[in-house]
Structure 1
Amino acid sequence: MTAFSTNSITLNNPVTNPFDNGIILIVDDVPNNLKVLSDTLANAGFEVAIATSGESALQQLEHTPVSLILLDVMMPGMDGFETCQRIKANAKTRNIPIIFITALSESVNKVTGFELGAIDYITKPFQQGEVLARVRTHLKLNQLSQSLEARNTELQQLTQQLEQRVSERTQELFASIETLKQTQQLMRLVFDTIPYWVGWKDINSVYLGCNQSLADMLKLSSPDEIVGKTDYDLNFSKEECDWFLMCDRRVIKSEQAEFHIIDRVLRADGQQVWLDTSKMPLRDVNGNVFGILFVTKDITERQQAEEELKQQKQNLEQALAELQHTQVQLVQSEKMSALGNLVAGVAHEINNPVGFLGGNIQPALDYIKDIFGLVDLYQQKYPNPDAEIQDEIEAIDLDYIREDLPKLVGSMREGVKRIRDISTSLRTFSRADSDRPVACNIHDGIESTILILKHRLKASESRPEIQVIREYGQLPLVECFAGQLNQVFINILANAIEALEESNIDRSFEEIQTNPNWIAISTQVSDSKQVIISIKDNGLGMSEEIKQKVFDHLFTTKSVGKGTGLGLAIARQIIVEKHGGSITVNSTLGKGTEFVLEFPIIKN
């Protein structure tokens, strides 16, 4: 083999290869071999450097980053084995993979090559596909090996750091335990002087200690006897222990103290006592919660006194509520009875003349028809009456009478029908409730109430008519006490009218006409099968203070003699107690008021 050149040649190729992170160094003394290998690798996208001797290769490796070496075995001077041995002896280059190049006719000891550190052999003549496959494979294997080695190094460093942290943490833990022992001794000296029951636990509610007072209460020989125990190991019931544990966990989880936890427990001597307990989290020097401290005071005597006072107060409140309830029922019963008798009597008195009028209208129409038929027949038989008859026909305007008289009788019929409707509404409003709810049409009750108040809704000299806006939904028949519901409607609607009249003070007729008074009534059925009735006005509204008292017994904003303060109290009682519903008020001062009634369609 002949020497070609001691100079190195670097071939750069812009193509990027996914396995290339450096240069492939080809070492061979035969120029043709160098050209074939360098062309093959360069065309495949690799960056190539060449050397014609072992010495030249070693020089290049000092300043050129090489990823893989193709090394000829048989070279003059320093052969491939010696070159490989020196490369592997250098710490800087020992990790570069080496593939030996040898001819089939050359007698080479491959075992020696592998022992020196080679990773593969390529035989001449070269097969381009084989060369590229081996180069790519060994580049990838080298990269994986380097990555694995780096990962192992990183893991070793992390392991060392972890061992260091475990060692430091262990030392801190021992120091904390020693500090804790000293703190417990100091705490015992302090807490034994406190007349209350004091104890401290770890985060698992296991006792770390207690003062002498708690040990005496638990019938323990000394405070040390409680260490390592839980409340379940002491003279408490399971229910009491569950309660203690729940409170402990709540304080530890929130890391916040809880004060004045009132509980009743059974002492070891069988006496039942009331306790006032405060629990606080215990923290170490780093602010971490490691346990809980509790202080308990026996408040049995105070609690018994408070219970007696509370019972007396409840008895008085119950007596007052029963008295008010009875009063409301009496007022409501007397009021509804008197109103019902009056309205029923009026309706009965109206029915007689209305029946007389209604029964005679149709015969009257028939008579009129007969008379006009006779007149028509007379005119046909005597088309030319004398002058006196003709003058009379013109004087009375017979044609106008023929046209207008049926209209007059028709108006009378409508008037009678209207009177009958009023009578029906009066009877609907004044109906007497039975001892159980009856299916009724809610809209009929609302309309009868509006009719009763019609005279107050009409226009007057000082204001236009109060508009009633109806937004009725599709309601089924509702099981209710209809007469009592009518009382609710009339109370709310009367209050709305009074609020509107109050809002009209100091306003002219034209101002009211520009922004007219109105009452909006809407009904609907909710998804939960509840009837919802809204009665809303655009009056003055009410303040928050009045809203809070509006359903109170005997509360009224009206002047003396104009209100009893029972209307809305009665309304609330009827809706809540009689119908199992609710009544709420929504109001903004200066913008109006809305009452919302809600109760079930079918009463339970």
Structure 2
Amino acid sequence: MSEEIKSMEQDEKILLVDDNPTNLQVLLQTLSGRGYKLLIAKDGENALRIANKAKPALLLLDIMMPGIDGYEVCKRLKADQATSDIAVIFLSALDDTHDKVRGLESGAVDYIAKPFQAEEVIARVENQLKIYRLEQALAARNRELEATNQRLLETMREGIYEVDINGVIVFANPAACRISGRTEEELVGKLLYDHVLIDEDGTQVPLKKALLEPTLKYGLSQTRDDWSGCRKDSVIVPIDISCTPILVEGEITGAVIVFRDISEKKQQQENLEHALKEIQEQKDKLTHMSRLSSMGEMASGFAHEVNQPLTAINNYAQVCRRALDREPLDKAFLNEAMEKIVTQAQRAGGIISRIRSFVRKPDHHLETVDINRVVEDIVNLAEVDARNNQVEIHLSLADDLPQVRIDPVQIQQVALNLIRNAMEAMKNQPTRDIGVKVETRRLDDRFVQVRVIDRGYGLAEDADEKMFTPFYTTKVDGMGIGLSVCYSIIQAHGGTLQFERNPEGGTIFWFTVPAL
């Protein structure tokens, strides 16, 4: 490797852009100690200013930020010749195909969904930086001495071809021979697509269909992440490939093709996907356990709540039995008693139905729903705990709210956790009679907000930094996973979970979910 490339690696800068300090801290911890110079920006304006000054090799860029969002930042970088070569990887909780396509169309090279895994971020960053180094090395090829160039080509793991204006191979490095299973003599002088690349159906790729033609005809640099190469022994090898034009005094004279065998990479990706699936399953189990824990804590209240209609049913049944022994038979009285039995049975069934709906373990299932209906249902469930704590719940629902697309059970889990925490904070306070207020409102054109307001004992001094950290709790018997699980749920929905100190005393917790 040349001294120029070594220097390039030592000076590589990565700019991390996110308005969430927690996300920035996680990224810094993930990438620290790997030889990169890490820069940070908390909004789009600062990101553009730092990029123009520092010229980083790579941006890890959040999408949803105040002011200029990530899409606009990427577009401006690509429109400026001074920063157009900077690679951009989006990091965002927006995980729809539309969002990914929009990100790639704005000029990004990759897209990582939040919450992300450290191994995935490291692998993708290293992959993009390797491509960056290769492209920089190829851009400087005509300025290097022939001997230095030859040593570089011979020591690279990636295969390299040089082709003339007609697509005929004029040079193949040792790695290209090794990957293709052919000798240099078998490659040089042959059309690249006659011997190396194949189409998806295993047939030869016509020159006009291949990515080489736009490079040779228009001077476009191109990349493909998933192509296939055919070895001499007919074994098909998955490869990624880039194609860069060779310019001599402004004229296109050929192209340089860089490719590598990604069989191992594909296997690693499959292993990573399997690991991510297992992690998601564990997260689902933790979320379900959190719901079961809430129901366990409220069990005595539910038992009392169900026992009341059951007692009434028993009493009415005894009355009916006595009435049947009387002559003459009073049918009107019996019908009235039976109607009361039905009413009480429906009351008990309703309580049990709400509990079953809440604690079930469903697959991830997004529904288009009315957020007010979701909040009303969970407040009805929380009323049992409210009576036990002697704290009233006051509901204030905004009119004409847009519908939202959410997992109703998970959002109810978040709301119930916040309501129960609020009641816990107020149950021994002089302000208990004020009660807990739960309200919905439209935050802006994009989000609906749910707020839980209490007048309890307030927050601990270290809450601002630790509130959503796993296993942080101020309760004597608390596990500290409730709010952490809630935070993950809201992030996965593309919203925000935050809190603030109530100016009148107590705390205001709120979360948002995207509106349709």
With the length of structure 2 as denominator, give the TM-score of the two structures: 0.41
Q: Which has the higher contact order (CA 8 A, sep 6+)?
A: 2
| Structure (1 or 2) with the larger CA radius of gyration | 1
With the length of structure 1 as denominator, give the TM-score of the two structures: 0.37
